[in-house]
Every structure is written in C-alpha cells, then in structure tokens.
Structure 1
Amino acid sequence: MNIIEFDESGRILSVVTYFEARSILEQLYPGRLILSEDRVVSQSCDYVKANELLSRPLSPVAMRGAVLEGVPAGARVWVDEQSYLADGTEIELQFEHKGHYRIRVESWPFMDYECVYEN
C-alpha cells in the first residue's frame, strides 16, 4: 500500500510504501492528511482532490506567435530566470534583444507549460 501525504492544495509531499494494516497507519498519523492507494504515485504528475488521487491536468496555455494564450489569473510566468504574476489576460512577449528565451508557466494543479521562444 502507498501512503500519500499531501497539503491543503493537493500537492503530494511524500509517498511511502507500507505493509501494515490501515488501523496502524491511523495510529501513526492521527489527524494527518493521508490517503492510501494501490497504484504507482508520481509526486510531479499526480495530486489529491477531495481525497481522490488524480492525474494533474495538462496546462491550458498555448503559444501563438509571440502571445501566450490561456494563462490563468494568478499563474507564475517565468521568462528565463525572471518571474511575473499573470492577471488572466493574454501575454504578449516582447524582447529588446534577439535570442532564445525559455518560457515556463506554473499554475497549480495544471502541469507546467514550457517552451522556448525565439525572436
């Protein structure tokens, strides 16, 4: 049995394989957010919602030319090492210098969106 500890947002904090009865686990982790499942668990690809283990959905973000579409409000947008907080509107990318820029959009529980933009 896999014991999955997760936080209030559903992020998986740890996964431990345990071979004891559930009653023993309840004694070991009283009042903790624990869920047991009988499948492989990925901390990066899964999350917990309403005590159910789910796969994280794909990001709704898409790059169209120099515009990031579908970026949810509150998402963290990274351009190389600089981050910005999205307000839910389309984001038009403008760069002073030509080159390659690594773009990443983080918006829990969606999988991160990543691409390389070249201008």
Structure 2
Amino acid sequence: MKSILFLTLVLNLAVSKPLQLFNTSLTITVRDELGNIVEGVSVKLFTKEEDYIKEKNHIQEATTDAKGVVKFKKLNPESYFVLCRKGDKDNTSGGEKIGQLKKGEFNKVTIVIQ
C-alpha cells in the first residue's frame, strides 16, 4: 500500500511540473523592400526603447547569413527592440519592436529593411 502511495506521489510531481526542453530563442529573417533576403545585415537586440534609440547597451548582436537569417539563443521571454542595418538600409521606418517571445519556443519574425 505504501509503495502505491509513493508511486502516485512521484507521478503527480513529475506531471505537475513541465520540463523545459528548449531555451527561448529568436530567429530573424531580414528582407529588403522587394522581399529578397539580405545577407550581411547587422542585427542588434535591445531590451529598452531608450537603448534602442541611442543605439547602446544591446544584449546580443549577430550578422545575417547567406539565407538572410540570424539566430539568438537563451533569451528571456519578453519583448525586444531590434535594429537591423546594412549600408544605408535599416528597419527604423517600422518593425522595430518584437512582441513578447514565447518561453521555451523557437520564435520567428521577418524584418524588412529599406
């Protein structure tokens, strides 16, 4: 009887706490105004709007690959401000803020630079 009670307790604990198998991540695809992917774009993530405006204190930075993609891992599930720039093209005319990321998931967005 005690072993059944113990087994029930262990199973309840195992089921009640979901395992987080994945870190919260963000994949950004950068395209130009014609919809073409853009390689070599500098992408910076900011947690605060004031830092985004002043372009300082970014939390992560990466450059898009040949497919126009950049991946950020181990992020907190919150909103981020994103600055994408290559030459004289950037995303400051729209698409600067990404909504709250889903915890433990692979979040994806596309940003247009012009």
- The interval holding the TM-score normalised by the smaller chain is 0.3 to 0.5
Using structure 1 for the length normalisation, give the TM-score. Answer: 0.36
Question: Greater strand percent: which structure?
Answer: 1
Question: Greater helix percent: which structure?
Answer: 2
